[in-house]
Chain A
């Protein structure tokens, strides 16, 4: 069964005849385990470039007054559009992950296949990392400069709309999706019997709490600080919640430890095929 699963999931052969049948030829080829990294980051950057261009083109012409008809046309449309896109994307992707995951649940997989899956998990984590940068640095910078042009607008501004309502929820979707992937595909680490991992609890918690901090922030602005001071105390939850994303390093750490176990299992199973060859230290 494990063999069949591995064959089913086997990627294109790398032409390395030394590999056994049923194992992916080289699970860590760029085009095998790592390809979601390029797709994921590419799509996120594409979305970012779109918002970037949109704001360069329209923020000073249509984005200065959220009560205006122009704002409705250019920015409320964008707002609802991005929510629909995110909703559809999360439904399709998370649904697909769960459906595929359930289909393989309980099946064993070969060390090579598990390696490929861990590489995919790292790829998804890489995409999440990019989304976190965009939500924590790229757009907050723009938000800072934008506030200088305004006397104060609503919670919906040309910078808030991509930042708070696209990249913030996107990071939640990516973190949750990555966990769901691991939950079904890397049972040795994230299987149901293990419980919920602290690493993902912190990472997902960071992203979810950031979304919640948006509400706290806007509510705070309704009470105090009509001027723009970035370092006001009620902005600090954004930072402290952000620190929880350190859980990402725990994901890297525990998957690496698992990789050592996978390598060991492969060595034990195929000692003759092991590539172990110590080299001299400097």
Chain B
């Protein structure tokens, strides 16, 4: 009986080894028509839809915090940015891992977003409306994308990536963008107040339709935080990113992959 079981197991293993050898052969198969141009066309044309999706998601979920240095506060900015920016990278991470087995989706989306955001800020905010770039620079999420893709590559699990990677994402987005922001948080004397350089930009560069009272700057009581708002916000940003990650997964799984070769109604 034991021998029989062993034989069946051996046969199954041998079949599986054979199947994987065939898959290896298939991986390296040269097709008659599917050449490198298909790869190039896919990667280049997808840039636009990915950039558009990532940028509109960021702009309409967290745009106000991203547009101006004086909105990049310790309480709200880390949370809304982490949530808004992780959604589409998560989608692409699923698509590119599931389809090509590339841990590239988050980084790819982050690079597309970098392109879209800087084009928008430079041509539309700086050149067209004369807001200086040092006031309207966009947050970059490329570093966070690399770390999240690396997490997926190591864990091979979307659940673990959502638990670990989303928190890594939240901290990396904040930390990476805090580096250029730091200089704008220095105190200066302006209009009989001690304010930050970012505040001066917000006051001086006139925004006729974004009055100061719209800005959410550490609103609320901030009770018992002992000045630790930043750290509490970062922890919550991880939670928000976790939620955003699974929204992104939903898009990838059910709006991008599930519909493949499915039809609404057979006529």
Interface residue ranges, A against B (CB under 8 Å)? 27-28, 30, 34, 37, 52, 55-56, 59, 112, 115, 122-123, 125-126, 128-130, 132-138, 140-142, 144-152, 189, 192-199, 201-202, 227-231, 235-236, 238-239, 242-250, 252-254, 256-257, 259-260, 262-263, 266-267, 273-281
Say yes or no for B167: interface residue by CB 8 A criterion: no
Q: Are B257 and A253 in contact (CB under 8 A)?
A: yes
Say yes or no for B208: interface residue by CB 8 A criterion: yes
Say yes or no for B170: interface residue by CB 8 A criterion: no
**Contacts A133-B51, A192-B267, A263-B31 given: A199-B259 contact, CB under 8 Å?**
yes
Q: Which of A125, A128, A136, A152 is the one whose CB lies under 8 Å from B56?
A: A136
Q: Are A140 and B59 in contact (CB under 8 A)?
A: yes
Say yes or no for B120: interface residue by CB 8 A criterion: yes
State in angstroms the CA–CA spacing of A104 and B258 once bound together: 30
B266 surroundings in chain A (CB, below 8 A) = 193-195
Q: Are A239 and B32 in contact (CB under 8 A)?
A: no
Q: Are B255 and A246 in contact (CB under 8 A)?
A: yes
**Contacts A196-B264, A198-B263 given: A151-B128 contact, CB under 8 Å?**
no
B80 surroundings in chain A (CB, below 8 A) = 231
Say yes or no for B219: interface residue by CB 8 A criterion: no
Which of B45, B56, B67, B252 gathers most chain A CB within 10 Å?
B56
Q: Are A144 and B63 in contact (CB under 8 A)?
A: yes
Inter-chain contact count A-B, CB under 8 Å? 249
Say yes or no for B265: interface residue by CB 8 A criterion: yes
* Minimal beta-carbon separation of B184 from chain A (angstroms): 19
A266 surroundings in chain B (CB, below 8 A) = 32-33
* Minimal beta-carbon separation of B117 from chain A (angstroms): 8
CB<8 Å pairs between A and B, sample of 6: A137-B116, A145-B131, A198-B262, A201-B259, A278-B25, A281-B27
A202 surroundings in chain B (CB, below 8 A) = 255, 259
B37 surroundings in chain A (CB, below 8 A) = 28, 30, 34
Q: Which of A34, A196, A273 is the one whose CB lies under 8 Å from B263?
A: A196
* Minimal beta-carbon separation of A23 from chain B (angstroms): 10
Say yes or no for B194: interface residue by CB 8 A criterion: no
A-B complex: 9 closest residue pairs judged by Cβ atoms: A141-B120, A136-B52, A126-B45, A195-B263, A198-B259, A230-B63, A133-B48, A137-B55, A249-B256
B28 surroundings in chain A (CB, below 8 A) = 278-281
* Minimal beta-carbon separation of B120 from chain A (angstroms): 3
Please report which residues of chain B, range 229-267, place their CB below 8 angstroms from some CB of chain A when the two chains form the complex: 251-252, 255-267
State in angstroms the CA–CA spacing of A202 and B99 once bound together: 19
State in angstroms the CA–CA spacing of A192 and B264 once bound together: 12
Q: Are A242 and B259 in contact (CB under 8 A)?
A: no
**Contacts A136-B56, A238-B56, A239-B57 given: A276-B29 contact, CB under 8 Å?**
yes
Where chain A touches its partner, the secondary structure class is helix
**Contacts A140-B56, A152-B209 given: A274-B32 contact, CB under 8 Å?**
yes
State in angstroms the CA–CA spacing of A280 and B25 once bound together: 8
Say yes or no for B106: interface residue by CB 8 A criterion: no
Say yes or no for B195: interface residue by CB 8 A criterion: no
B64 surroundings in chain A (CB, below 8 A) = 229-231
Say yes or no for B1: interface residue by CB 8 A criterion: no
Q: Are A28 and B24 in contact (CB under 8 A)?
A: no
* Minimal beta-carbon separation of A172 from chain B (angstroms): 15
Q: Which of A115, A189, A230, A239 is the one whose CB lies under 8 Å from B33?
A: A115
Q: Are A196 and B128 in contact (CB under 8 A)?
A: no
Q: Are A27 and B33 in contact (CB under 8 A)?
A: yes
Q: Which of B91, B117, B256 is the one whose CB lies under 8 Å from A247?
A: B256
Q: Are B49 and A133 in contact (CB under 8 A)?
A: yes
Q: Are A227 and B209 in contact (CB under 8 A)?
A: yes
Q: Which of A30, A141, A196, A278 is the one whose CB lies under 8 Å from B29?
A: A278
* Minimal beta-carbon separation of A219 from chain B (angstroms): 17
Q: Are A281 and B264 in contact (CB under 8 A)?
A: no
State in angstroms the CA–CA spacing of A174 and B61 once bound together: 27
B257 surroundings in chain A (CB, below 8 A) = 249-250, 253
Q: Are B128 and A138 in contact (CB under 8 A)?
A: no
State in angstroms the CA–CA spacing of A111 and B164 once bound together: 46
A198 surroundings in chain B (CB, below 8 A) = 258-259, 262-264
Q: Are A137 and B67 in contact (CB under 8 A)?
A: no
A152 surroundings in chain B (CB, below 8 A) = 209
Q: Using CB atoms, name the residue of chain A closest to B45.
A: A126
Q: Are B116 and A133 in contact (CB under 8 A)?
A: yes
Q: Are A243 and B63 in contact (CB under 8 A)?
A: no
Say yes or no for B121: interface residue by CB 8 A criterion: yes
B29 surroundings in chain A (CB, below 8 A) = 276, 278
State in angstroms the CA–CA spacing of A189 and B259 once bound together: 13
**Contacts A55-B128, A136-B55 given: A148-B207 contact, CB under 8 Å?**
yes
A280 surroundings in chain B (CB, below 8 A) = 28
Which of B55, B116, B255, B266 gathers most chain A CB within 10 Å?
B255
